[in-house]
Amino acid sequence: MDGKTIQSSMSSGNKKKGGFRACIFVFVLATLENIGFVANMSTIVLYFHLVMQFNPSTSANTLTNFLGSTFLLTILGGFISDTYLNRLYTCLLFGFLEILGLVLLTIQAYSDKFQPDPCQKSTCVKGGQAVMFYASISLLALGGGGVKGSVAALGADQFDSKDPKGAKGLASYFNYYQFSVNIGSIIGVTAVVWVAMNKAWYWGFFIGLVGAFVGFAVLALGKPFYCYQPLATSPLIKISQVIVAAIRNRKLSVPENSNELYEIDDKERDASEEAIAHTSQFRILDKAAVLKDEMSPQPWKVCTVTQVEEVKILTRMLPILLSTVIMNTCLAQLQTFSVLQGYDMDAHIGSIQIPTASIPVIPLLFMAILIPLYEFLIVPLARKITGHPSGITQLQRAGVGLVLSIISMGIAGVIEVKRRDQALLVPPKKMSLFWLAFQYGVFGIADMFAMVGLMEFFYKEAPNGMRSLATSFALLSLSFGYFLSTAFVSIVNAVTKRVTPSKQGWLEAPYLNQNKLELFYWFLAILSFLNFANYLYWSSWYKYKSDSKNSEAEDKAIDPLLGQKTSIEDKE
């Protein structure tokens, strides 16, 4: 299917494919698959600690490494769905691996022979138990990462962003997609978590397995309704060609007029590629588009302006990506240490005991309420004020999320001081679990702004043939955040045990009440504040594709005789 076919299938002349009708199948998968995935994110740190006999730090690091690997592998899913398989087949392939991982995890939770006996080491898993354990979470990470790296882009492909209605539909799609994820997450952290912690761990994993299986079956049923983007040349090859050509042409001078750079006619262009206007940033890469006199254009020797601009776009995205990592390091604490906090708190409402791992339902409920309010009330009002299809720009939305994450970590430190002080009283008095609602609630709103904004930003700004890959950048930030959390825990322990009088790291003690978790939270709050200043710089520096087109249009409005820009008024 070529680019023209795709556009026509999204037009009013063909209402059978694309649009929100096709997205319903994506929303169903997002709901059902996340029932198990998010339930596991909430409880599996306790499963590592209570069943697999890891100590608190090892449990937290195992979870962050698992989640970091999952979101890192979204790049693989995005790469394959852009280049080798369409988005649907990529989702189904990695979905099979995810289901296989859930099967192995369910078997291990069911059978005592795959579970270790308690010991005094940081981990007691060995032999066949270790093979079973690491095989299950590896398949889960590979499958889940591949699915998440392609499914969001599959839904976004159902809208033509060049059409004003399509642009609004695309902006709304990411809100609806996140809402679907939230609904599945709420079911996961309430019903499934309750089953796992009150009935049996294997029942919790089994429910997630059934939900994922049904979700992928529904996704497959939507095949006749989807629009498919044409497969593109490997992004790695394109990027490599630009870098090699720029190095080969490093001694050549770049012409003042960008129209003299090498470009091909739209008729010769690959169906997956859309012409991109020249920009003045990263001028050194323009050398790749300099065509020597009497030289025929050949790959690896000269590249088109569009190909060079694709590399420029990805380069401009990198600082934005890296500026959001610290926020996701903060998120990792809410899924590790905050869950361990909740385990030592009073989880009763009257006579009803709430599973401690269900506390993440608080930010999810905030998001489930706020996303529809944002979509139906705030966005229309903001559109009237700003004229932007999304109300505010994607980078502004992500910036709001970063500010709220700073506040969340500050609150978390204050709550931990109060919790530990009450727990150390004689007789001990446990604080209510719902004090954690403050840090979770604020971060839930932060996540609503940041994650949706980043997913829309990376999808819309990415070159056509790299949209799955670029959309996975938002999740890649999550991956880096989880890995950085693991590194911070190790580094903080190594540094603080040298300087504290007790010679014990802030997070090193086997029992949470013996640690200085609040200092770690405040360290992250300060780091997040510094990171926000860094984000402000890069977001103001970033040049949107639409701005680039406007700039190029101005550059072309040059008087051929005077060599000066002429305004409309001058021409008149």
Any domain includes 568:
no
289/320 Cα distance (integer angstroms): 26
Angle at 328 between CA 326 and CA 333, to 5 degrees: 100
CB 448 within 8 A of CB 382: no
175/419 Cα distance (integer angstroms): 35
Claim to verify: residue 377 and residue 352 sit in the same structural domain: yes
Claim to verify: residue 407 and residue 499 sit in the same structural domain: yes
pLDDT tens-digit series, residues 130-185:
888 889 999 999 999 999 988 988 998 888 767 777 777 887 888 899 899 989 98
Locate 254 and state its tokens.
Answer: 């770049």
pLDDT the model gives residue 435: 87
Claim to verify: residue 54 and residue 94 sit in the same structural domain: yes
483/481 Cα distance (integer angstroms): 6
361/541 Cα distance (integer angstroms): 37
> What is the DSSP secondary-structure string of 238-307?
HHHHHHHHHHHTTTSPPPSSGGGS----GGGS-TT-------SSSGGGGGGGPPPTT----TTT---HHH
Angle at 474 between CA 470 and CA 479, to 5 degrees: 115
Any domain includes 555:
no
Is it the case that residue 559 has pLDDT exceeding 60? no
User: Which residue's structure tokens are 């770690």?
Assistant: 520
Is it the case that residue 550 has pLDDT exceeding 60? no
| Strand-pair partners of 348 | 353
Sequence-distant (6+) residues with CB within 8 A of 437 are 359, 362
31/540 Cα distance (integer angstroms): 35
pLDDT tens-digit series, residues 373-390:
888 888 888 888 887 777
CB 227 within 8 A of CB 10: yes
pLDDT the model gives residue 128: 81
* Average pLDDT of span 406-431: 88
> What is the DSSP secondary-structure string of 175-220?
HHHHHHHHHHHHHIIIIIHHHHHHT-HHHHHHHHHHHHHHHHHHHH
User: Which residue's structure tokens are 């590592």?
Assistant: 48
Name the domain count of the chain: 2
CB 331 within 8 A of CB 325: no
Sequence-distant (6+) residues with CB within 8 A of 438 are 411, 415
- CATH code: domain of residue 429: 1.20.1250.20
Is it the case that residue 560 has pLDDT exceeding 50? no
CB 30 within 8 A of CB 177: yes
HSE-CB for 182 with a 13 A CA cutoff: 24
Domain that holds residue 34: 3-231+324-540
pLDDT the model gives residue 271: 64
pLDDT tens-digit series, residues 84-141:
888 899 999 999 999 999 999 999 888 888 887 777 666 777 778 888 888 999 999 9
Claim to verify: residue 159 and residue 220 sit in the same structural domain: yes
Q: Which residue has the higher pLDDT, 524 or 514?
A: 524
Final residue in a domain of this structure, among 310, 332, 358: 310
Claim to verify: residue 378 and residue 503 sit in the same structural domain: yes
Most confident of 48-62, 66-80, 139-153, 460-474: 139-153
CB 87 within 8 A of CB 229: yes
CB 423 within 8 A of CB 367: no
pLDDT the model gives residue 546: 61
CB 324 within 8 A of CB 535: yes
User: Which residue's structure tokens are 């059409």?
Assistant: 163
* Average pLDDT of span 305-313: 88
Any domain includes 142:
yes
Any domain includes 516:
yes
Claim to verify: residue 246 and residue 385 sit in the same structural domain: no
**What is the Cα 455 distance to its own chain's centre?**
7
440/551 Cα distance (integer angstroms): 43
Neighbours of 494 (CB within 10 A): 11
Neighbours of 428 (CB within 10 A): 10
pLDDT the model gives residue 555: 45
Q: DSSP letter for 49, please.
A: I
Claim to verify: residue 63 and residue 182 sit in the same structural domain: yes
Final residue in a domain of this structure, among 275, 310, 345: 310
| Strand-pair partners of 352 | 349
Claim to verify: residue 72 and residue 148 sit in the same structural domain: yes
* Average pLDDT of span 47-54: 82
CB 519 within 8 A of CB 417: no
Any domain includes 342:
yes
Any domain includes 560:
no
Residue 369 has phi, psi (to 5 degrees) of: -80, -45
pLDDT tens-digit series, residues 454-492:
888 888 888 877 887 888 888 888 888 888 888 888 898
Is it the case that residue 539 has pLDDT exceeding 50? yes
Angle at 485 between CA 212 and CA 437, to 5 degrees: 70
Is it the case that residue 453 has pLDDT exceeding 60? yes
Claim to verify: residue 210 and residue 287 sit in the same structural domain: no
Q: Which residue has the higher pLDDT, 561 or 520?
A: 520
77/91 Cα distance (integer angstroms): 8
Any domain includes 563:
no
What single letter denotes the amino acid at residue 220?
Answer: A
Any domain includes 559:
no
Claim to verify: residue 16 and residue 87 sit in the same structural domain: yes
Claim to verify: residue 440 and residue 474 sit in the same structural domain: yes
In the chain, % of residues over pLDDT 90: 22
293/38 Cα distance (integer angstroms): 59
* Average pLDDT of span 308-321: 89
Q: At what angle do helices 305-323 and 517-541 cross, to 10 degrees?
A: 150
pLDDT the model gives residue 142: 94
pLDDT the model gives residue 96: 95
pLDDT the model gives residue 5: 41
**What mean pLDDT value characterizes the chain?**
82
In the chain, % of residues over pLDDT 70: 90
Comparing 124-133, 245-254, 302-311, 560-569, the range with the smallest average pLDDT is 560-569
Q: DSSP letter for 506, please.
A: T
If DSSP states are collapsed to H, E and C, what string results for 109-157?
HHCHHHCCCCCCCCCCCCHHHHHHHHHHHHHHHHHHHHHHCCHHHHHHC
pLDDT the model gives residue 535: 94
Neighbours of 414 (CB within 10 A): 15
pLDDT tens-digit series, residues 197-228:
888 888 989 999 999 999 999 999 999 999 88
Residue 353 has phi, psi (to 5 degrees) of: -100, 125
Claim to verify: residue 253 and residue 276 sit in the same structural domain: yes
pLDDT tens-digit series, residues 282-296:
888 988 888 877 677
